[in-house]
Chains A and B, each alone.
Chain A
Amino acid sequence: MPCLSKVIPSIPHENTSSNFIKWLTRLSGQMERVVVSMQDPDMGVKLRNQRLLITVIPHAMTGNDIVEWLMQKFSVCDEEALHVGNLLVKFGYIYPLKEPRVLTLRPDETPYRFQTPYYWTSTRWPASELDYAIYLAKKNIRKQGELIEHEKESYNMLHKRINHTWDFVVMQAREQLRASKQRRKADRIVLECQEQAYWLVNRPPPGMMDVLDQGPERKNILNSRVQLVVPTCVCVCVCVCSFVKYCEQYQPHDPIMQGCLPSNPWITDDAMYWTINSDSVAVPTKLRVERWSFSFVELLSDPMGQRELMAYLEKEFSAENLCFWQACEDLRHGENSKIPSKVDEIYKQFLAPGATRWVNIDSKTMEKTLQGIKQPHRFVLDDAQMHIYFLMKKVMSTDLHGGTCVFPFMRRQRHSSPSPAMLTQTGEDDGKTKHHGTGNV
């Protein structure tokens, strides 16, 4: 564990945006490490249920608990611990349950909660315009047009800027609202708090300090008045930083750079690595599961990952989504001559009214798709497929309990052996997964 002074890297002298991004990347990485150890089931902060009006929210902690834990962990005085804790709140790794706009750590009984990794600054910065548009659209629908001033302005600005995808925005917003209505109230409140906390950090209202502001010389992209015919470029520093992050994230998975366990078959002539990583193996290695957690795409591109996802969705009675997605992939990459029959089959199984595995697509996309399949071609189901993909992604990526895993079967892996190549201990862990939801994460 780094000492406290190393947790906060020194602010660079030159206030350039690339310096800022470097600093923010380092800071986020450190904050991530602190927050992960704060959530350790044995040595972490004490968690308890918190009553919010009439609902009970699990896995909450008091400001006091946080400060005390930091004091103890880093052996520092309460002032320093409060300072670090404040940073964790300001940068969105911990959020207050009762007064969400007050992004400071209060060393008293004020309840806080860990932000889900999906919304960490280190994972989701910079925030995407599309995501913000969907968030505002949801709020707009829920509040029936009564958005607060700065959100109303942003909403109108985005409506103009990304007008060409506005249908998608509204459709996603409606779908997400519909999906959230089907959750338990406590879960719904938690998810709303998480999302709200994320946007308070990434799009702070005027008057609130914008910790993620990239410096005085950067124009706020929403205020840019330069209208070009050409597609807008993303600034180079954001691109290179995301590239740097990618390299760092995948380095443990790069056998040439970092070796691999149990051994590299090319060096030792032992093919064990290939055996334990084959598609038909019963239990995936820890490293493989870790890679699935990098992105939904990683999960879907591993046939074993797809199988695990299917098993999980079957338990949640929503396997038809993945089946539909797979059928669309088969259509896109299959033989030309089979396209009409495949489209017909997909329609009967997934899209027709009363179909056995009906997928929930919004009416606009459905209308467009049904029209399109009258003249079937390879890409006729692309819109519908994308819609289902995003739905699956959204549902899968939001973890209700603020832990660091995405699926229950991934939770299993966390408690297994430290070796990335070792298979998990299934016997022991089955007990844990049975109690998931009631135990400490």
Chain B
Amino acid sequence: MGEMEQMKKEADGLKTQIEAARKAVADTTMSAASAAVAPAPRVQLKTRRTLKGHLAKIYAMHWATDSRLMVSASQDGKLLIWDSHSGNKINAVPLKSSWVMTCSYAPSGNLVASGGLDNMCTVYNLKTPVVKTVKELDAHTGYLACCRFLSDSEILTASGDTTCALWDIESGKQKTVFLNHVGDCMCLSLSPDMNTFISGACDSLAKLWDVRDGTCKQTFQGHTSDVNAISFFHNGNTVITGSDDCTCKMFDLRADQEVISYQDAQLNAGVTSLALSVSGRLMFAGYDDFNCNIWDTLKGEKVGVLSGHDNRVSCTGVPPDGMCVCTGSWDSFLKIWN
């Protein structure tokens, strides 16, 4: 009993020290620092494509690295591979379980993955004459909320069983399990150098992990509800999160704290997804109120809105070349905006 008390005291002491260290360096705000920067122009993007083909709610989409192909997942039990520029469907992959929640395109373009309430991550090969299942990665004890490929042999998953895992696709086994969250893991994002990744969970925290040794390096607090969406900035030092508490927040890894919050008194809908433009200046956040709002990340102001969906925007994505932004919705359509 005494030892527990002592350890608790030590933990509290450390927490105070961490808070003090963060306060000591919190000498300015983003708005103060960006005051000299010209405001972003009012952004008015038009729908350039509407991709029709799904028959039920779309839950996820992911661009391929060539910025033209993309994969989308819907609870009609299908993964669709689109050549988004022409609007053609290249492939339709039937899913064993229609309760899909996530999909991902491998950087090489050879593989796609999906997963959901079946607790599994299934990897498919697109390059065989008929799309074949490569592996079923089955070890999570909760739903699969998000998956991202590192390469054709490794994939990261985030699960409702509160863990994230790094898998070796060839053997189908988990190489590393990342344990620390106390709520369902909802989303993850790889750092540009692929040595770390960040995850968001229903415990309202975002955590930074080292891929190699499986440890949690940093924890970011600030949200008051589930963190549904998360993304690394291309600079590798900053992270944005979106939450059911209707706000998005930017955290800086080096300052180890929240830098700015993107919120509006009139916004009462939770954030479902987010994506960043190439420079990081613009953030596209999808909300439960059927809209996708465009934020100026430096000034913390809304600079536009993408409205056109008839139901919740469930996923957003900016392709690697930054040419446009894609939104997917429960109304079964994908829209491409520019």
What is the interface of chain A, defined by CB distance below 8 A to chain B?
A: 16-18, 21-22, 25-26, 228-244, 246-251, 253-257, 260, 264-267, 271, 273-274, 277, 297, 301, 333-337, 379, 382
Q: Give the residues from 14 to 63 in chain B that come closer than 8 angstroms, CB to CB, to chain A.
A: 14, 17-18, 21-22, 24-30, 32-37, 40-41, 43, 45, 48-49
* B325 on the A face (CB < 8 A): yes
In the A-B complex, the 3 residue pairs with the smallest Cβ-Cβ separation, listed nearest first, are A333-B151, A18-B28, A250-B279
CA distance A258 to B307 in the complex (A): 22
Please indicate the chain A residues that have their CB under 8 angstroms from the CB of B67 in the complex.
274
CA distance A229 to B150 in the complex (A): 33
* B289 on the A face (CB < 8 A): no
A235 touches B255 (CB 8 A): yes
Number of interface residues of B (CB under 8 A): 67
Please indicate the chain A residues that have their CB under 8 angstroms from the CB of B175 in the complex.
336
Q: Could you jot down 28 A-B contacts, CB within 8 Å?
A: A16-B27, A18-B27, A22-B36, A228-B17, A228-B21, A233-B254, A235-B25, A235-B26, A235-B255, A236-B25, A236-B27, A244-B33, A244-B298, A246-B279, A250-B280, A251-B279, A253-B278, A254-B277, A254-B281, A254-B322, A256-B278, A256-B322, A256-B338, A257-B277, A264-B338, A271-B85, A297-B193, A335-B152
- Chain A contact residues: helix, strand, loop or mixed: helix
CB distance from A163 to the nearest CB of B (A): 20
- Chain B contact residues: helix, strand, loop or mixed: loop
A243 touches B279 (CB 8 A): no
* B212 on the A face (CB < 8 A): yes
Please indicate the chain B residues that have their CB under 8 angstroms from the CB of A257 in the complex.
40-41, 43, 277, 279, 281-282
CA distance A238 to B45 in the complex (A): 33
* B6 on the A face (CB < 8 A): no
A255 touches B278 (CB 8 A): yes
CA distance A252 to B297 in the complex (A): 17
What is the interface of chain B, defined by CB distance below 8 A to chain A?
A: 14, 17-18, 21-22, 24-30, 32-37, 40-41, 43, 45, 48-49, 67-68, 85, 150-154, 168, 170-171, 175, 192-194, 212, 233-235, 237-238, 252, 254-257, 259, 277-282, 297-298, 318, 321-325, 336, 338
Q: Which of B36, B193, B254 has the most CB of A within 10 A?
A: B254
Please indicate the chain A residues that have their CB under 8 angstroms from the CB of B252 in the complex.
236, 239-240, 243
Closest B residue to A271 using CB positions = B85
- State which of A230, A247, A337, A382 has its C-beta within 8 Å of the C-beta of B297: A247
Please indicate the chain B residues that have their CB under 8 angstroms from the CB of A242 in the complex.
235, 237
- State which of A231, A255, A297 has its C-beta within 8 Å of the C-beta of B321: A255
CA distance A229 to B14 in the complex (A): 8
B324 touches A247 (CB 8 A): no
Please indicate the chain B residues that have their CB under 8 angstroms from the CB of A297 in the complex.
192-193
Closest B residue to A232 using CB positions = B21
What would 11 more interface pairs be, CB under 8 Å, given A228-B17, A337-B170?
Answer: A233-B21, A235-B255, A244-B33, A246-B279, A250-B234, A250-B278, A257-B43, A257-B281, A260-B323, A336-B153, A336-B171
